[in-house]
Each structure stands twice: as structure tokens, then as C-alpha cells.
Amino acid sequence: MLNLEQRIKIAGVKVSPFQYIDGRRVLSKATFLNFSPIDGSILCEMSAADQSDVDAAVQAAYRAFPEWAALGSTGRGEYLRRLADIIEANAEKIAQVETADNGSLLAANLHFMVKRSAHNIRFFADWAEKLQGEGWDSNGIRYKVHYDPSGVTALITPWNAPFMLTTWKVGPALAAGNPIVIKPPEWAPLTCSLLADFAEEAGIPPGVINIVQGIGEVAGAELVNHPLVNRISFTGSTDTAKIIGSAAAKRIVPVSMELGGKSPFIIFADADMDAAVSHALAQFNNAGQVCLAGTRLLVEESIEKEFLEKFSQRAKQLKLGDPRQKEIRVGPLISQEHFDRVSGFVERAKREGAKPLFGGGPSKEQGGLFFEPTLFIDVPKDAEILKKEVFGPVLTFQTFKDEEEAIRMGNDTDYGLAATVFTGEETRGERVGQKLRAGTVWVNTYYARDLKAPFGGSKQSGIGREGGTHSFDFFCDVKTLSHKMGSFYH
């Protein structure tokens, strides 16, 4: 008989390959193989959830709801702060497993992603305690706003930063009083399994956190269609979001979706060139597998030559290789399927007439799933590479004549997740930022995210906003209690 306490060793860390439902590990009928993108080796065989597993997880969350909600924000906060402490204490383990599982840089995971994960949990635990009690008097009526837990919540998370982006959802959902069912990405499920162990160590009651591993078309579909799910938070592709949205619409279930992007990175002639180049290079972070990346470089005509020379010189110094090594800046793509997708975009761009100034194909030196950082110039205006999200280390370069054209080109996309502007003129930064259609606009910086700020996308990049009070606007049923002043006699 299979031992459900069995752990597999990933980078020296013991990880469970089984589902986590109602406070215990559960064996499913089916399994799927999990590969490391670093060398293509099989990491483990994971338990794959089916309809019965998903139903058991949702039912467990449903049963846990009254007790978890009744704790109040202060009671829940005690559990969540313990969870954050445990995450910090296990930072090295989490970073090692994440790197092995999705090929992201070990240094980035250790020094940023895991720290941010613990902060996500603590921040929303603190914020929930500040929410209750907002009130005012008007025309003899006293109004008070309540943030009530909404119930069982489905969290569907992506593979490019699975642990950190899962905690971004887990923090506010649990702080709001909702038990959760997490569907981790099948291409990188291991750190979410660790999260279950940490939750157990923190003493979080059974059923409050459930994790169903498996294929999106099975486990994910069963989860979003389950009649007891009251909220769905999804981060991933726009195509998948349309399927989830259709399922949610049938039951009028609120959804929050952070989706893809084709963001502009606009550089004016008066910008600090060195700063602009440095931040533009950051668009190759995580092998370009970042939804917020400014993949369309838009540069003022007068500085075209200077920018291309400096950017190319520094980009060619980026080292590809094993993401566990400190000097490496670009790791592998997540899977063979995704590698083929990125390669297809690049080859079609070449056929359409775009020219790679550098890169332009798989890394001959590294082989495997490593793709060279690529910059296309002379890109035809209607080329696919300008329109669709590649999600790889592939950027395009275009020039603009003036501010008006920069704004027009920046907005010439079906997406609207983010935008970046570099300029030496403060009023221009504000002016251009206001006219760009994007959920987040950075001026003279990149990837700055304060958890108080609303985050989400416009157009095809998403629905809704999360962050600060905006997260609780989604994860709670917001209620206004109104009563006539002076109407109570006892």
C-alpha cells in the first residue's frame, strides 16, 4: 500500500506529490509527470485530481467556512502571521524547489520572491483588521460598511512565479474569511505542495486550505464549474480566461482575472539613457516569462542609434545557463510545448520581414529549452509579433517622432496590463501616463508594486483589481448597514 506520508526529494527538499484535501494528503486515481526545464529530467510523478477530488476539496472548504469566518480578522490574522513566519524560515527550501520546478533564477527566488511571499501574507492579514468599521452619518441615517466573507474561493495560479503569485491570492482570500481551493500550475506544482505543509505547521484548521493538482482541462474545469464555489481568482492566459469566464457567467460567480500583456516600454530623448537601458534589459527577466514585461520598445527617433548600440552591447553580455548559478541572468523556458510556441512566433516574425538585431533562435551553446534573448528591428506595422503575447525573451523595437505618436503606438494593442515611460520631464511622465491605457504605468522605473495599490489589467489583460482594499472588494461581500439615528429605545 502506498504511504501518503511519502515525500520525494527535490533539490534536497522533501515534497509531497499528493493532493491536500481537508487537512490530509490524498491519493488520486491518475498521475502526471513533472519535468525540470533546466535539463528535462523527470522530477516526480504527481497525483492528478479528478472530479471526485475537486468535489472533496470544495466540500471540505464549504464545511470549514463557518468556523473560519467566525474567527474574525484578528483571529485569522494570528494564523496568517504564523504562516508568514514559517515561509520566511523555509526560504532556502522554497527557492531551491521553485528553481528546480520552473527554471527561474535561484537568486531572484531567494532574495525577492520568497520574501515577497511572506510579505503578501502579513500585509493582507494586517489590512483586513483595518477594514471593518468605516461609517458616517448623513441626513439622520448612520451608515456602516461591512466586509463579509464570501465563501469558498477558487484560486488558479500560473507557472512563472507559482509560490509568490499564489500567496498574492491566498493572503487576501484567507484574511477575508474565505476557505480556499488552490489549483496550482501543472508545469510547476511543487512549491504549492510545500505551502500545504506550512499551513499545517501554522495550525490552520483542516479544510481552510485545499490543493488540487492536475491538468487544467480536468481539475481546473471541475473547480470553476463547482456549484459551491463563490469566487474565482485566476492568473494566466487570456484564452483560458475566456473559458473560465463563460463557466462563471452561468452561475453569476464574481471573477478576478490578471491576464496577458503586450506592454509598451517608451523612451523619450530626454530620458536618462543608462537608466532606460538597464530597465529595458530587465524585460528579459525570467527568460521573458513575465506578464508585465514591456516587450515593445518604443524609442524616440533622435536617440535610435545611441539606444540600440548601448542596449545591444549589454544584452549580449547576459549569460544563459543553469539558473542555480549566480552569474546566470537568463534561464530556460518552462516546457517543450512553450519553447515550441516561442520558436514559432520568432520564425513567423522573420518570414514577415522582421530582422533580429541579436538572438533570434534557440541557444546553440546551451541546447535544451534555452532561447537566446532576441530583439527584432524593422518590424512591419501589422506583424503578429507586435500584436500577440510571446511570453519569452523576445522584444521588438520601433521608433516614434513625438509624444502624440508614442501614445498612439503605446495604445495600439488589444492588451492593457502595464506600460513603462522613461523621460526627463516630470509633467510629460504624468501626461503620457494618464493617456496610456494600462492597469499600471511606471515612470522612470519598472516592476515597482506596492500592495496598497490596485493591480490588474485593461482590455484583454483582465477583469477587476486586487491589492489593498481592492482585494477585499473582490474577496468579500461588501455590505452597507443603514439605520435611522435615534430610533433605538433600549
CB neighbourhood size of 380 (10 A): 12
Q: Which helix (H) or strand (E) holds 124?
A: helix 114-131
Identify whether the C-beta of residue 311 lies closer than 8 Å to the C-beta of residue 277: yes
Here the cell at position 116 is: 515577497
The Cα–Cα gap between 94 and 285 comes to 19
What is the maximum span of the chain, computed from C-alpha positions, in angstroms?
A: 83
Q: Give one word for 66, left, alpha or beta, with left for phi > 0 and alpha for psi -120 to 50.
A: alpha
The Cα–Cα gap between 23 and 197 comes to 9
Find the Cα–Cα–Cα–Cα dihedral 174, 221, 36, 316, rounded to 10°.
-90
| 3-class SS string, 370-382 | CECCEEEECCCCC
CA 133 to chain CA centroid, nearest Å: 31
The Cα–Cα gap between 250 and 417 comes to 26
54, 303, 398, 431, 437 from 425: Cα distances, Å: 54, 16, 21, 10, 20
Question: Closest Cα partner for 108 from 278, 286, 295?
Answer: 286
Taking the CA atoms of 425, 431, 437 and 443 in sequence, report the sign of the dihedral they define.
positive
Residue 289, phi then psi, degrees to nearest 5: -90, 60
Residue 113, phi then psi, degrees to nearest 5: -60, -45
Residue carrying the nine cell digits 516574425: 349
Identify whether the C-beta of residue 171 lies closer than 8 Å to the C-beta of residue 80: yes
The Cα–Cα gap between 168 and 5 comes to 28
| Tally of residues, the chain | 490
Q: Residue 111 carries which DSSP code? A: I
Here the cell at position 84 is: 508568514
Residue carrying the nine cell digits 528579459: 284
Q: Which residues belong to the active site? A: 258, 291
Question: Closest Cα partner for 356 from 391, 394, 324?
Answer: 394
Here the cell at position 260 is: 496577458
Report the DSSP beta bridge partners of residue 138: 141
HSE-up of residue 480 (Cα within 13 Å, Cβ side): 7
Q: Which helix (H) or strand (E) holds 127?
A: helix 114-131
